[in-house]
A and B are shown apart, each in its own frame.
Chain A
Amino acid sequence: MAERQDLVVIGGGAGGFAAAMRAAQLGGKVTVIESAYLGGNCMNKACIPLTCLLTTAQLAAAVRKADRFGIRLGEPAIEMETVHSRKDVLIESLRMGTEQLLSDNGITLIQGKGRLVAPDTVEVNGQTIQARNVVIATGSAPAQLPIEGADLPGVIGTEEAIELRDIPARIAVIGRQPWDIELAQYFQALGSEVTLIVDGDQVLAEADRTIAQRLGKRLYDAGIALKMRSRVEAIRPGANGSLTVVLAEGKGEIAADRVLAARRLPNSSGLGLREVGVKTEGGAILVNERMETSIPHIYAIGDVIPGPMWSHKANAEGIVAAENAMGRASRMDYGSLPHCVFTWPQVAWVGLTEEQAQAQGIEVEIGQVPLAINPHAMILDETAGEIKIIACKKYSKIVGVHIMAPGAVDLINAAAVAMLSEATVGELMRLIPRHPSLGEALVDAAMDVEKRSLHLPKW
């Protein structure tokens, strides 16, 4: 390629796409190098397909209780072929849309494996591209858990779990990341006997404790066997091709046909990082708030840098990296980055948990409303959740909002906007939500910070 590029993006996933598009919007000549599928892990192997499957599973769960709403349907029959073909068609159309957007914006797409050969030179398919700026957006790759027996057949990761056409009779899920909980619920809804093994005392590692407790209870009530505070000692082959998960400290053994033992590691090898001098730690590329690596004009975003591996985070980081590459001054602010779990009911939060706020020495005030008092939640027959607001006593600053409710991943955006625009609890109180709606619980929670909710019973 003759022409020097303003930006070369290595990796065409969610973050790389955002970086390329933003740089093109700012007038840059941009090339994206993708070694597999455009859209990356998120679109092809994680967020999109998983959410697709979870939606099917949630519908199945809804059908099972349809009679409570006056609809007699009986036990749903699930056709896995249709489930997967629907998902695959959807992915294909999203992928095509992405390709179209890149080409509409004059972005060059090269299929191949990109590698830095100099700070301003990227090599792909034997040719070199001169680049004023490089964004590394190579994402993450699945890896085995460091447990004895993790390499046994039948021990699977999330990508295999998503592609599984035969629903196992028994599955053990090791972990407490969002996808662990989501897949546990998915298999349970599709008829598996599920055991969730949690090394800790709450099912979601980073969630606010009360929310995690509510979710744990919900999973338990749905029939998922919870093994709390349990460390896996080993996975051993069992009888008839089955597996046995052995818990440490004699906490027992779990027989399963499949074991989900997933983790992901930054995909940073083979990129020429060491040769060029880009600093990494534990495989993750170190960056500052401008997404700059240790080498000028080389940026990194998404799963390949430290932090949670979420495509919405990568997307936001991609925009910041592109703007800085194109000469603007842009900073990444994680303060309003929402955490989202696509369970049913959904769990989402933004900002600090009560425990984190206290650890930071913030004098907190809590507003808390169980959905059991929210009319819309009652109508939906989904009252297990709650909305909780963590406020700083001084100035009434909102430091965290935690939601477990149907539609939480969307409802959280209202809280994120409030925090992003520095609304105080006072502004949230002045929201006027529709009645009945789940948003009423958000306002009630805000009012409860000052103990003036109109709907909470006196304890």
Chain B
Amino acid sequence: MAVQVIMPKLGMAMTEGTVVKWLKEDGAPVKRGEPIVVVMSKKITYEVQSPADGVVRHVAQPKDVRGIGEIIGFITEPGEPLPEVTVGAAPAEAVPVEAAAPAAPAAAPAVKAEAPEREEKVIPASPAARRLAKELGVDLARVRPSGPRITEEDVRRYHEERTRIVASPLARRMAEEEGLDLAEIQGTGPGGRITEEDVLRALEKRAAPAAAPRQRIPFLGMRQAIAEQMVHSLQTMAQVTITAKADVTELVATREALAVRWGRKASYTDFLVRAVVVALQKHPLLGAKLEGDEIVLPTEWNIGVAVALEDGLIVPVLRNADKLSVLQISDRIRDLAQRARENALNVDEVTGATFTITNLGMYGVDAFTPIINPPEVAILGVGRIFEEPAIVGGQIVPRSRMVLSLTIDHRIVDGAPGAAFLQTLVQLLEHPALIFAAEEG
């Protein structure tokens, strides 16, 4: 009795999938549990395992799109006729992947065991032909035998015919003289033959205003490290970004006032580092690490500050930021950023952060979705400061605002604790006195 192979459900939102590639040829014997076909949802690819012992029979072909639960193939007994599949008939019940294995064989109304769609028979071929076909990836069913059975020579001829470039003598000569690669020219003549016209078109394309040589940037070193780090981060964490708007009118005024007293201006990042430390101490989960099956809370308050470099970025770490005043933070950040640009940081100056701050405010960015720097569990994105009308005491007055974007790893930090941290941070920024109160206390 034929067992159906159906399009599995690979995700909650998935309604249909695409057949990517059959791993077993049509008619190949297969054991239950062996991967037989690769299917793909919009998000992932998945190897479907054989639901039974038997012979694989293809129904859907690569690139075919099928709804969840629709039949894409069968596992039959050897020699058993292929059941007829009514296209568009009600699909078998959608089964999530976990339960996809042996799909219910009978019952499905879509399947009628009627006339075989095609006769399954063993293709006569010499052992050498079979071996070569396998080597070259040739489907023996497509090879025309020159005698009673397919020979090695038949396979070779088929493969050559399929792979050789067909071009007119003139096209070949032109390509040779012009230094064009025929393999890159699309043939439009009979049977895809490359003609004079095709080569002329290629020449024209080449002659077209020689696009300035494309600049190539080596994807190596720091660039590659950032790439790996970011992809790893997004692939392993459940990241969610929440934003909140802070009224920083007072912070702006405080900063100006302190600038007069200190004789130089601290950056907003300097204040933010201090505020973040205070908020973290109240919500230590945001500075936690996942170690095996344990979430480990922080004991040190090391804050990473992303610094843009000419060809990348680096995150120097302010160790024990809780022990530093805003002014000290300001000095340290200047020093770290300076040495970062000179490529003169020590390893312990770029590792071991509890939490990271990245500020794109100077580029006019409002909000964004920063990517967490593993193994941290959260990162704060800082937007620009802008003025907007607000109602204070029944009057419309201008206020300075800043959007904070907090990305949290939802595996460890749920929305509420994340929001609570953000709320604390907003309060600290809106009342800068609290920052210094904590500093002094």
Q: Choose, from B21-29, B170-178, B280-288, the stretch at the interface.
A: B170-178
CA distance A421 to B171 in the complex (A): 10
- Chain A CB within 10 Å, residue with most, of B168, B169, B171: B169
Knowing A395-B170, A397-B170 touch, does A422 contact B195 (C-beta < 8 A)? Answer: yes
Instruction: Report the interface size class on chain B.
Output: under 10
- Give B192 Cβ to nearest chain A Cβ, in Å: 14
Contact residues in B for A332 (Cβ distance below 8 Å): none
CA distance A149 to B319 in the complex (A): 115
Knowing A422-B195, A422-B196 touch, does A395 contact B168 (C-beta < 8 A)? Answer: no
CA distance A395 to B174 in the complex (A): 6
Contact residues in A for B173 (Cβ distance below 8 Å): 395-396, 424, 426
A110: interface (CB < 8 Å)? no
Identify which of residues 149-187 in chain B touch chain A, using a CB-to-CB cut-off of 8 Å.
168-171, 173-174, 177
A423: interface (CB < 8 Å)? yes
- Give B180 Cβ to nearest chain A Cβ, in Å: 12
Identify which of residues 189-205 in chain B touch chain A, using a CB-to-CB cut-off of 8 Å.
195-196
Contact residues in A for B174 (Cβ distance below 8 Å): 395
Name the one of B169, B177, B195 contacting A423, with C-beta atoms under 8 angstroms. Answer: B169
The answer to whether A421 touches B168, judged by C-beta atoms less than 8 angstroms apart, is yes
CA distance A426 to B169 in the complex (A): 9
- Chain B CB within 10 Å, residue with most, of A395, A421, A426: A395
CB-based nearest B residue for A428: B169
CA distance A303 to B71 in the complex (A): 59
The answer to whether A395 touches B195, judged by C-beta atoms less than 8 angstroms apart, is no
A355: interface (CB < 8 Å)? no
CA distance A276 to B84 in the complex (A): 53
CA distance A424 to B174 in the complex (A): 10
CB-based nearest B residue for A392: B170
A381: interface (CB < 8 Å)? no
- Digitize A416-459: 1 where CB-to-B-CB distance is under 8 Å, 0 elsewhere: 00000111101100000000000000000000000000000000
CA distance A335 to B54 in the complex (A): 59
Contact residues in A for B168 (Cβ distance below 8 Å): 421-423
Contact residues in A for B170 (Cβ distance below 8 Å): 395-397, 422-424
Identify which of residues 379-421 in chain A touch chain B, using a CB-to-CB cut-off of 8 Å.
394-397, 421
CB-based nearest A residue for B168: A422
- Give A403 Cβ to nearest chain B Cβ, in Å: 21
- Digitize B213-244: 1 where CB-to-A-CB distance is under 8 Å, 0 elsewhere: 00000000000000000000000000000000
Name the one of A394, A396, A422 contacting B171, with C-beta atoms under 8 angstroms. Answer: A422
- Give A440 Cβ to nearest chain B Cβ, in Å: 21
Contact residues in B for A397 (Cβ distance below 8 Å): 170, 196
- Give B182 Cβ to nearest chain A Cβ, in Å: 13
- Give A264 Cβ to nearest chain B Cβ, in Å: 34
- Chain B CB within 10 Å, residue with most, of A394, A422, A427: A422
Contact residues in B for A426 (Cβ distance below 8 Å): 169, 173
Contact residues in B for A396 (Cβ distance below 8 Å): 170, 173
CA distance A395 to B168 in the complex (A): 12
CB-based nearest B residue for A394: B177
- Give A63 Cβ to nearest chain B Cβ, in Å: 45
Interface residues of A (CB under 8 A from B): 394-397, 421-424, 426-427
Which 7 A-B residue pairings sit nearest by Cβ, starting from the closest? A422-B168, A422-B170, A395-B174, A424-B169, A423-B169, A427-B169, A395-B173
A395-B174, A426-B169 given; 6 more Cβ-contact pairs under 8 Å: A396-B173, A397-B196, A422-B170, A423-B168, A423-B169, A424-B173
Write 22 A-B pairs (CB below 8 A) sorted by A numbering: A394-B177, A395-B170, A395-B173, A395-B174, A395-B177, A396-B173, A397-B170, A397-B196, A421-B168, A422-B168, A422-B169, A422-B170, A422-B171, A422-B195, A423-B168, A423-B169, A423-B170, A424-B169, A424-B173, A426-B169, A426-B173, A427-B169
